[in-house]
Amino acid sequence: MNEWTSYQLQDFIPFTAEVYFRLLERMGENFWPLHLLTLALGAATLVMALKHRTRIACLLAAPLWAFVAVAFFFQRYAALNWAGGYVGYAFIAQAVLLALMALTGWGMDNAPRATTPPVAIGIAITLFGLIIMPLMAPLSGGSWFQAEVFGIHADPTAVTTLGLMLIMLRGFALWIAVIIPALWLVVSGLTLQALDSTGGAVLFAVLAIALIGGGLEKYRGQAVT
């Protein structure tokens, strides 16, 4: 028992901060200018969600989760961390779930898109994932290729999807749909904390706000004034 208590979080991370952020940078280098397409798809997904075209919104987001699973986790992250492949399968599962929701309409919120507390929080989180997160690395002195972009990198994909789910879904379906994005943000947040990056605190803050938004679902029928 004493031996286990001697371990720190850093002991479970099999790579350095330099290696990890270089991985993110390589993703940016290898797939540019695909970023423009994924950001456009993200913006279109938000517009569809707000226009009550929720099935289309889910259908647009699904292939991006599959792309991140293959391009990031299977082909790159798994080389650094043995658990990367398992996370990739989780991202594939999220892509399948979104596709099934698009086909069946399960859990879709059919009420008008009034600016209720969950919807307002969802919009804010979605915009944060689409706009603010790509700017964080460059504004912190990093390369523009280190910019983490929705549909290319895991963190903004999970953050943006959390926001979209708050806008589009209700009840049990909402909580099912946010499990994988939320769990990844916990894993990524802990990883970034172990690497002494402030990004971990940002992810935990976003997750906490999203959970508050989910808890306010009972106010979905009441518009914010």
pTM above 0.75, yes or no: yes
Over residues 95-141, the pLDDT tens digits come to 999 999 999 887 776 655 556 888 899 999 999 999 999 998 888 77
Among residues 83, 102, 192, which one has the least CA distance to residue 140? 192
How far is the C-alpha of 150 from the C-alpha of 126, rounded, in Å?
Answer: 10
Cis peptide before 33, with omega less than 30 degrees from 0? yes
How far is the C-alpha of 133 from the C-alpha of 28, rounded, in Å?
Answer: 14
The H-assigned helical ranges of 69-215 are: 78-80, 84-104, 117-127, 133-139, 154-168, 171-177, 179-194, 199-215
Contacts of 25 by beta carbon, 8 Å cutoff, 6+ apart? 142, 143, 145, 146
Task: Compute the radius of gyration of the chain from its Cα atoms.
Answer: 17
Q: Give every residue of the chain whose pLDDT is below 50, as ranges.
A: 1, 4, 6, 9, 223-225
